[in-house]
Chains A and B, each alone.
Chain A
Amino acid sequence: MSDLLSVEDLTVEFWTPAGTIRAVNKLSFRIRRGEVVALVGESGSGKSATGLALLGLLPRVAKILSGRMLFRDGDAPPVDLASLPPRSRAFRAIRGDRISMIFQEPTVALSPLHTIGNQIGEALRLHRDVDRGQAHREVVAALEAVGFTRPEEAAHKYPFELSGGLNQRAMIAMATICRPALLIADEPTTALDVTVQAEVMRLLMDLKERHGTAILLVAHDLGVVANMADEMVVMHHGEAMERGTVRDLFHDPRHPYLKGLIGAVPRLGMDRATRLRPLREIPVPPVRSQARPAAEAGRPLLRVDDVSKVFHPRPGAMLAATPRASTYAVRNVSFEIRRGECLGLVGESGCGKTTLSKIVARSENADEGRIEMFDADGAGTNVLGLTGEALRRWRRRVQYVFQNPYSALNPRMTVGGIVAEPLLVHGIGDERSRKARVKELIRLVGLDESHLNRHPNSFSGGQRQRIGIARALALEPELIVFDEPVSALDVSVQAQILNLVRDLKDRLGLTCLFISHNLAVVDYLADRIMVMAAGRLVEIAPREVLFREPRHPYTRALIAAIPEPDPDNRLDLSKLSAGRRSDPATWPWPYGGGEGGAEPGLIEVAPEHFVRSFVAGTPDEPRSARHAPATSEGRVLEPAGAGGEA
């Protein structure tokens, strides 16, 4: 097999006001026809710049200093993409036709003002001599091939009318409609939920198999890489650290950087004793004993009872075909958080997990239900009924760590001011004691006192997240809600934060609600895990039980779709096609399909293991009695909330 593309000694520099940055340094690799090569690395490693350079799409401040990128397409003589002027007609003829690209954020990579059919067809009409009708027929065929059930209709949709997953399918249709020899996939699944990610992976692998398309996969997720790539190139600071087949590299990583990357990724079913090994360990000093007495552990701290929240669409869409119905963001959710535990909450984007956490923190109001929070001596507080000063005082007890550490800190305040603010707001201590407390907190999260006078913008994402955690710890809250605290961070930084949360939890006896769409991350920290889908809580179980014997079809689909960072244990992508189960209408009896839209309640199927179901039987012994009344086996936690959507 000859090489489709060989990159030799590629060097790319960016000219910024701060100076010249060498994004890619003497990088060499090759892609054979019909093969998947992965460029792996953290953000800033130069992997995206390499992908852009191949298409002549580098921004103007970037320059290719040296090197060749030889592209051998069919029988034509090789073309050096590095020396071809990026705006030339010749390069344009290659772009989108022979080499094409799909992007990380499908929703913003498509123009919001043009239909997806228009944009897909554009690629075809630019490179092929086809008329409008012919182009439209091919667009519809391409949309069908990427799994649109009603392609004719979909061609007339705008990107904002489609989900992220569907947009990424449309992107794939667009990038492949001219049957390119090489497809550059820049983090194609990073912005997608895990079940959707699996479907996109399957589409890409289909392309490779059916049309012999070679794929350059730019990714930081080792799970995705291990499941798709034949070869991989590990990049760090613009240089290739290691190169070889995926199998060799995962089994026997030579370079410490790759070893570090592999050790930093949480895997499902990791031993509790195993710690992630970040590339750089952040030492956390021993803290004074402020851990809560162990006797308290296990007693309920917070009980959420039948909480619902309905979102009403805003009126005003001038030409919308039908007025949109109100939807349940959170629907009859009941659960309990116990003192000293870390409760994980997983679910795909839009499943209501953030809304639920905001309700718990009282920054969003519930429409129905009750939340009770218990003191150490068992006295309860009706959280949803709090107002005014009582609510303000209660806020000390629950704190929040946000997903995006870049927007969660006021850029005009110093780090010291940010961490001290909660103390100031609640009037705790005097100037001197607050200062001492802030110093203690900042050391606790592995930062230094000297950082206190600086502003957030001089810190990296991981450091900012630690500042956010220090702020949340300031009031010694009884519960901390972590809302996707690591999803915006690189794997090695992610490992630091996860270890930090784990240490803090052990040492301070923290109780936390940890939200993530990444099951492996939740698995690393949580004692019990809740799974949400479409606003409903579908399953809750101790972590090892949930992974060993998931009951609910959605939980099963979720777990089945996780790509393991192990090339010998790849997902069976062909089996996934029907596996997406986020829509309650697809849940079979006894998990859905109740008479007259009746909704099942949570049933305890095993100790501590609750499933949202009409009957307590295991799915392995299917019940034919579809109309059987809900049995009273097991403890019913939640009454079956009947009734259609408002």
Chain B
Amino acid sequence: MNFARFLGRRFLTMAVTLLVISLLVFIIIQLPPGDYLSSYIAELRAEGDTNFEEKVAFLRELYGLDQPLPVQYLQWVGGFFRGDFGYSFEYGLPVADVVGDRLFLTLLLNFATVLFIYLVSFPVGLYVASRQYGLVDYGLTFLSYLGLAIPNFLLALILLYGANVFFGVSIGGLMDPALADEPWSGAKVASLLAHLVVPVVVIGMSSTAAMIQRVRANLLDELGRPYVVAARARGVPERRILLKYALRSAMNPFVSDIGDLLPSIVSGSVIVSVVMSLPTTGPMLLSSLRSQDMYLAGSFLMFLAILTVIGMLVSDILLALVDPRVRLSGGKRRR
């Protein structure tokens, strides 16, 4: 069957891509002079520790830093298959333990954000497109430009300040601090959902605004096409033209976008996360890169790469489901 062959081919290229990326990630992390231990040495020396040399040598051996680079690389990559992502120097814990809940919360937050973006921008875009150059069109267009122009961390600050001053509540974090270390319970889930709303709006706002504009432009583009005129000529009502024809055709770029959205889950919204002290992976990635905590940073970057290739695969499959041209002739029309 052709689909199976397609999948097989894709998985193979995905594996090769990931291998190449892992090599690049490893090289890039090793590029800056020194490693985590050299900064650790500096620290120990400053503290006046006398036998730091022994300590460092011990650590070097423990982490395998005395091995030649290719061996280090192989050990690192090999660990992935055993679920061992290495050891974080900074936290003194295995990477898996350090990341822990953060990964899940990040996925949750960003999935909710993506959902929010699509759920808001499609209906609004459809509405605006069907009333081109009307008052509502101008009004919403203005609002979405405003949304586009306000940096989201600024909005976050404003909301934090407003919530504190007017309602006296703290909306930072993703749950009540008291529940943070508790095991999962109904109350914890409820608290999580309640805390999710504001970050989702903040992070999703500019993307939503941008997407409304794109949905509108794409729909108007499609509405001017000959097949729409032909559909009108056979008596199809406007509403149906919009939903059955224009919307279907305008979907393609948004489906292709899914591939690009997933990676932004990990790396995106760093500033907002810092400002709102969200327990997501963004800030951690930033600090790990800064302190050359190589296994932690490397794991993040690899995770990013895996999400990217999976996202691309998902969007290609979805695109084929949505568009028979892709499915049947292998042609792809983006935008």
Task: Give residues in A with beta carbon < 8 Å to B.
Answer: 52, 55, 57, 87, 92-97, 100-101, 103, 105, 108-114, 119, 122-123, 126-127, 158, 160-161, 171, 174-175, 313-321
Report yes or no: B329 in contact with A160, Cβ–Cβ below 8 A. yes
- Secondary structure at chain A's binding surface: helix, strand, loop or mixed? loop
Q: CB-defined interface of B12-49 with A at 8 Å, one 1/0 digit per residue?
A: 00000000000000000000000000000000000000
Interface CB pairs A-B, < 8 A, 11 = A55-B232, A92-B237, A93-B235, A96-B233, A114-B245, A119-B234, A126-B236, A175-B233, A317-B328, A318-B327, A319-B6
- Say yes or no for B70: interface residue by CB 8 A criterion: no
Interface hit among B78-86, B120-128, B189-197, B318-326: B318-326
Contact of B234 among A95, A105, A314 (CB under 8 A): A95
- Say yes or no for B248: interface residue by CB 8 A criterion: yes
- Secondary structure at chain B's binding surface: helix, strand, loop or mixed? helix
What residues of A have a CB within 8 angstroms of the CB of B245 in the complex? 111, 113-114
Contact of B328 among A92, A111, A319 (CB under 8 A): A319
How many residue pairs bridge A and B at CB < 8 Å?
113
- Say yes or no for B227: interface residue by CB 8 A criterion: yes
Known A108-B226, A110-B230, A317-B330; contact A87-B235, beta-carbon cutoff 8 A: no
**Of B2, B234, B331, most A-chain CB atoms within 10 Å:** B234
Which residues 219-233 in B have Cβ within 8 Å of A in the complex? 225-227, 229-233
Closest A-chain residue to B237, C-beta based?
A: A92
Report yes or no: A101 in contact with B235, Cβ–Cβ below 8 A. no
- Say yes or no for B3: interface residue by CB 8 A criterion: yes
Known A101-B230, A109-B230; contact A318-B330, beta-carbon cutoff 8 A: yes
Task: Give residues in B with beta carbon < 8 Å to A.
Answer: 2-3, 6, 225-227, 229-238, 244-245, 248-249, 316-317, 320, 322-331
Contact of B324 among A93, A113, A175, A313 (CB under 8 A): A113
What residues of A have a CB within 8 angstroms of the CB of B329 in the complex? 160-161, 317, 320
What residues of A have a CB within 8 angstroms of the CB of B226 in the complex? 103, 105, 108-109
Q: How far is the CA of A103 from the CA of B226 in the complex (A)?
A: 8
What residues of B have a CB within 8 angstroms of the CB of A319 in the complex? 2-3, 6, 320, 327-328
Known A96-B235, A108-B227, A318-B330; contact A113-B2, beta-carbon cutoff 8 A: no
Q: How far is the CA of A92 from the CA of B248 in the complex (A)?
A: 22
What residues of A have a CB within 8 angstroms of the CB of B316 in the complex? 318
Closest A-chain residue to B330, C-beta based?
A: A317
Q: How far is the CA of A119 from the CA of B249 in the complex (A)?
A: 15
Closest B-chain residue to A89, C-beta based?
A: B237
Report yes or no: B330 in contact with A321, Cβ–Cβ below 8 A. no
Closest A-chain residue to B317, C-beta based?
A: A318
What residues of B have a CB within 8 angstroms of the CB of A105 in the complex? 226
Report yes or no: A320 in contact with B328, Cβ–Cβ below 8 A. yes
Contact of B225 among A96, A108, A119 (CB under 8 A): A108
Measured CB to CB, the closest approach of chain B to A30, in angstroms, equals: 22
Q: How far is the CA of A6 from the CA of B110 in the complex (A)?
A: 62
Report yes or no: A175 in contact with B234, Cβ–Cβ below 8 A. yes
Q: How far is the CA of A479 from the CA of B324 in the complex (A)?
A: 44
What residues of B have a CB within 8 angstroms of the CB of A108 in the complex? 225-227
Report yes or no: B233 in contact with A112, Cβ–Cβ below 8 A. no
Measured CB to CB, the closest approach of chain B to A103, in angstroms, equals: 6
Measured CB to CB, the closest approach of chain B to A389, in angstroms, equals: 38
Q: How far is the CA of A127 from the CA of B236 in the complex (A)?
A: 10
What residues of A have a CB within 8 angstroms of the CB of B323 in the complex? 112-113
